[in-house]
């Protein structure tokens, strides 16, 4: 195993199971002439397999890993390491210099910034074809939740607006060094082919956020500042009751509500 002083503050739990790496690569279905973004290569265990498939830009915040990585990837042409905080970096200008057909994000994410990373990818319009990411298991359950379940939340609706989300497989905490407290899950998010667009994204995101503000409250109570009579018309169309909760409302219904208020 590598000589490295693992840093909890950077979410450093490195994979040690080659079978999991293989399964991540298989789930990614990376096409030729692609560009891969990896966030947090760590010691390069996953990176080693990624560079066999396509060009990779890997962002690593921990400069202590520079030596290990530069030794491991000495003479490797398919890799560019950027030792900076992914969240602070202008990713668009980094990827501009490459010619590629499709963009992928493949990473065993640092869990303390899972949502900020995904938000950045969406708001900065990187528009990857596919993301295959390892997240905390319960986060994966939330991202891929079905309508009507307790895990279904505003982030589920946001992500489903852009992506088809699939649970790939669960990863035991024993597959990492050091061993974390929780199990993990690999999920894939594939860009929607026929994305149904809302008229005003900002308005839509605000509506969804407000709808889920207090989980135990009804939609009507969470949306006190809206003209609810218009919303009722749409609920009626779908045979939904007035005292419904946000977790019962599908993405398409949220889109319709947003477009009509
Ligand atoms: N890819 C390796 C693996 O699978 O074994 C390591 C994954 S580890 C869960 C997360 C990695 O993300 C660590 O190497 C950590 O230093 C790095 N990291 C944490 N915060 C980061 C940030 N803001 N920007 C870039 N890398 C970060």
Q: What does the pLDDT read at residue 174?
A: 97
From atom 23 of ligand 1, which residue's Cα is the shortest distance away? 85
Angle between helices 251-260 and 201-211 (to 10 degrees): 120
Distance 159 CA to ligand 1 centre (A): 22
Of 1, 10, 86, 118, which is best to mutate to test ligand 1, by the most ligand atoms within 8 angstroms of its C-beta?
10
Ligand 1 site: residues with CB under 6 angstroms? 10-15, 39-42, 45-46, 59-62, 85-87, 108, 110, 113
Least Cα distance to 215 among 125, 112, 123, 145 occurs for 145
Angle between helices 251-260 and 228-237 (to 10 degrees): 140
Q: What does the pLDDT read at residue 2?
A: 72
From atom 14 of ligand 1, which residue's Cα is the shortest distance away? 42
Distance 42 CA to ligand 1 centre (A): 5
Token readout for 98 is 């490459």
Strand-pairing partners, residue 35, are: 55, 103
Residue with tokens 């202008």: 90
Per-residue confidence of the chain (261 residues) as pLDDT tens digits?
678 999 999 999 999 999 999 999 999 999 989 999 999 999 999 999 999 999 999 999 999 999 999 999 999 999 999 999 999 999 999 999 999 999 999 999 999 999 999 999 999 999 999 999 999 999 999 999 999 999 999 999 999 999 999 999 999 999 999 999 999 999 999 999 999 999 999 999 999 999 999 989 999 999 999 999 999 999 999 999 999 999 999 999 999 999 999
Q: What is the pTM of this model?
A: 0.95
Q: What does the pLDDT read at residue 189?
A: 98
* Rounded alpha-carbon distances, angstroms, from residue 116 to 30, 109, 113, 119: 24, 11, 5, 5
147 close to 154: Cβ distance less than 8 angstroms: no
From atom 3 of ligand 1, which residue's Cα is the shortest distance away? 14
Query: For the chain, what is the radius of gyration of the CA atoms?
Result: 20
From atom 2 of ligand 1, which residue's Cα is the shortest distance away? 42
Distance 40 CA to ligand 1 centre (A): 3
Distance 83 CA to ligand 1 centre (A): 11
Q: What does the pLDDT read at residue 1?
A: 60
**151, burial (CB in 10 Å: exposed 0-12, middle 13-18, buried 19+):** middle
* Rounded alpha-carbon distances, angstroms, from residue 193 to 111, 144, 163: 28, 18, 9
Strands, E assignment, 7-52: 14-15, 35-39
Token readout for 100 is 């590629």
């Amino acid at each position: 195993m590598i000589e490295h002083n693992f840093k909890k503050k950077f979410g450093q739990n490195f994979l040690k199971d080659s079978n999991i790496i293989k399964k991540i690569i298989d789930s990614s279905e990376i096409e030729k002439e692609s560009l891969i973004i990896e966030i947090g290569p760590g010691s390069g265990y996953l990176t080693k397999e990624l560079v066999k498939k396509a060009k990779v830009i890997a962002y690593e915040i921990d400069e202590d890993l520079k030596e290990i990585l530069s030794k491991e990837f000495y003479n490797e042409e398919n890799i560019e390491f950027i030792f900076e905080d992914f969240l602070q970096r202008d990713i668009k200008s980094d990827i501009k210099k490459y010619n590629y057909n499709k963009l992928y994000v493949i990473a065993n994410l640092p869990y303390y910034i899972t949502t900020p990373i995904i938000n950045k990818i969406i708001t900065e319009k990187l528009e990857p074809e596919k993301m295959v990411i390892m997240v905390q298991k319960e986060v994966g359950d939330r991202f891929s939740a079905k309508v009507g379940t307790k895990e279904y939340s505003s982030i589920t609706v946001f992500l489903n607006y852009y992506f088809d989300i699939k649970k790939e497989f669960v990863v035991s905490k024993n597959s990492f060094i050091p061993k974390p407290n929780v199990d993990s899950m690999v999920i894939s998010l594939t860009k929607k082919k026929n994305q149904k667009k809302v008229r005003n994204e900002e308005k839509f995101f605000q509506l969804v956020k407000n709808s889920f503000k207090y989980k135990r409250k009804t939609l009507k109570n969470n949306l006190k500042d809206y003209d609810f009579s218009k919303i009722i018309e749409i609920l009626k169309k779908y045979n939904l009751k007035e005292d419904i909760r946000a977790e019962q409302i599908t993405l398409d219904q949220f889109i319709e509500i947003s477009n009509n208020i």
